[in-house]
């Protein structure tokens, strides 16, 4: 048990964790490592994945429990199963002297298990909201069914835990609009040491790999390839910008999703699809890019891709949705666009192309802002400073 604030034992309930890649997974991973670095203990309870042990201690000292689960939606919606193995693992967890419980998001049955676990054992708990809207799949029928499930689950979680935090002001505003008074912001973050380590290693030379001339404006996109992320609009904008830029514009697209194969079948000249990249390759992509583009139509909490691009010293161009403005507050830090219409994106690309000095200055300012405000060291201090109180 806790013998001092710096030596607390934190238990994270995160429905998905590495090797699954995503913003919530990174948030859990790096924050847990930061806790261990400062002398505390960190435990992660997550969903089982084929080929991975049900229990292990990582080289970092973080302990992981993987509960039996059924992966729906291609693994994007894991449902924890209440089996004898589940109860055995939870009994093992009881022996760890947990002081505080952190539940990542409100979207999964494992989140409900987490708040129930804390409540029944008299442990203080918080829920961290990572989004700023209800989950969408792009399919009307699926969205309707998913909406019923998520609203039911959200209601159950909020009845069992009244301490909600958001990763951004946008996430907190969403909570307020849905009847939850947020306690504050526990922001999304980027691991600056991990970024530096990745860039110190050899990585792909994307211009050489794709035959991109040195004077060609190089753009990148990273994320799920779904309509709401704006990738189709961005491709159209690149086609239009190529008509006006003498040296040309080239777009590198990293990610997977329902639009990957359609894009591969009809990608125009000046667009290359890279598929899923590992962390090191992704950091090198950011670092070699003239402009990182986030043309999303979604109200995202605090996009990890923007933080990573900013940490790599890359100029960013993004739609003003969700928590984007909290990272890029003005023109001095990047380009904020009113919408993701192809004409709007094209105009933003053309403006950035015509002002290399602006790009250089804004990229440097964003890098400084990310390092000062969005590091995991800063997040750890904030986590330790909040009022945990007693169990609810």
How many other β-carbons are positioned within 10 Å of the β-carbon of residue 83?
12
Q: Specify whether 221 is located in the same domain as 78.
A: no
pLDDT value of residue 5:
47
- The answer to whether the pTM exceeds 0.85 is yes
Q: What mean pLDDT is predicted for residues 234-243?
A: 97
Q: Specify whether 166 is located in the same domain as 271.
A: no
pLDDT value of residue 169:
92
Confidence of residue 136 (pLDDT cuts 50, 70, 90): low
Q: Specify whether 246 is located in the same domain as 292.
A: yes
In a domain, 148, yes or no: yes
Report how far residue 179's alpha carbon sits from residue 387's, in angstroms, rounded to the nearest whole number. 21
Q: Specify whether 200 is located in the same domain as 185.
A: no
- The alpha-carbon radius of gyration of the chain (Å, integer) is 21
Q: Specify whether 64 is located in the same domain as 83.
A: yes
In a domain, 392, yes or no: no
Q: Specify whether 68 is located in the same domain as 180.
A: yes
pLDDT at residue 44 above 80? yes
In a domain, 312, yes or no: yes
Q: Specify whether 220 is located in the same domain as 356.
A: yes
Q: Specify whether 157 is located in the same domain as 68.
A: yes
In a domain, 390, yes or no: no
Q: Specify whether 48 is located in the same domain as 110.
A: yes
CB-CB contact of 307 with 286 (8 Å)? no
In a domain, 172, yes or no: yes
Span 336-347, pLDDT tens digits: 999 999 999 999
CATH number reported for the structural domain that contains residue 125 in this entry: 3.40.50.2000
- Span of 30-34, 36-40, 137-141, 210-214 with lowest mean pLDDT: 137-141
Host domain of residue 287: 193-373
pLDDT at residue 118 above 60? yes
Span 154-169, pLDDT tens digits: 889 999 898 999 999 9
In a domain, 133, yes or no: yes
């Amino acid at each position: 048990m806790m013998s001092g604030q710096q030596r607390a034992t934190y238990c994270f309930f995160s429905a998905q964790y590495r090797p699954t890649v995503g913003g919530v997974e990174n948030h859990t991973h790096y924050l847990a490592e930061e806790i261990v670095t400062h002398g505390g203990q960190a435990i992660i309870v997550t969903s089982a994945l084929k080929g991975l042990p049900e229990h292990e201690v990582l080289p970092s000292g973080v302990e992981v429990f993987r509960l039996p689960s059924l992966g729906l939606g291609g693994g994007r919606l894991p449902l924890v199963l209440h089996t004898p193995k589940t109860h055995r693992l939870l009994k093992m967890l009881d022996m760890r002297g947990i002081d505080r419980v952190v539940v990542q998001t409100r979207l999964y049955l494992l989140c409900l298990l987490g708040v129930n676990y804390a409540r029944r054992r008299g442990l203080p708990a918080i829920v961290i909201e990572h989004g700023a809207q209800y989950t969408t799949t792009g399919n009307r029928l699926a969205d309707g069914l998913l909406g019923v499930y998520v609203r039911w689950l959200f209601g159950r979680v909020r009845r069992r835990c009244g301490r909600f935090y958001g990763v951004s002001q946008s996430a907190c505003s969403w909570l307020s609009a849905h009847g939850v008074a947020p306690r504050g912001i526990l922001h999304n973050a980027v691991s600056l040491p991990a970024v530096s380590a990745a860039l110190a290693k050899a990585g792909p030379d994307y211009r050489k790999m794709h035959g991109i001339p040195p004077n060609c404006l190089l753009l990148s996109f990273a994320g799920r390839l779904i309509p709401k992320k704006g990738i189709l609009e961005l491709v159209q904008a690149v086609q239009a910008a190529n008509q006006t830029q003498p040296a040309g514009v080239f777009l590198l697209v990293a990610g997977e999703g329902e639009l990957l194969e359609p894009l591969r079948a009809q990608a125009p000249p000046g667009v290359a699809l890279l598929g899923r990249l590992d962390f090191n390759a992704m950091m090198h992509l950011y670092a070699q890019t003239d402009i990182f583009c986030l043309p999303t139509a979604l109200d995202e909490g605090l996009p990890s891709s923007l933080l990573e691009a900013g940490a790599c010293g890359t100029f960013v161009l993004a739609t003003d949705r969700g928590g984007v403005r909290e990272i890029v507050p003005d023109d001095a830090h990047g380009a904020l666009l009113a919408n993701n219409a192809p004409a709007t994106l094209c105009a933003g690309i053309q403006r950035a192309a015509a002002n290399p000095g602006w790009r250089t200055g804004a990229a440097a300012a964003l890098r400084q802002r990310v390092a000062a405000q969005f590091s995991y060291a800063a997040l750890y201090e904030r986590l330790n400073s909040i009022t945990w109180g007693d169990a609810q």
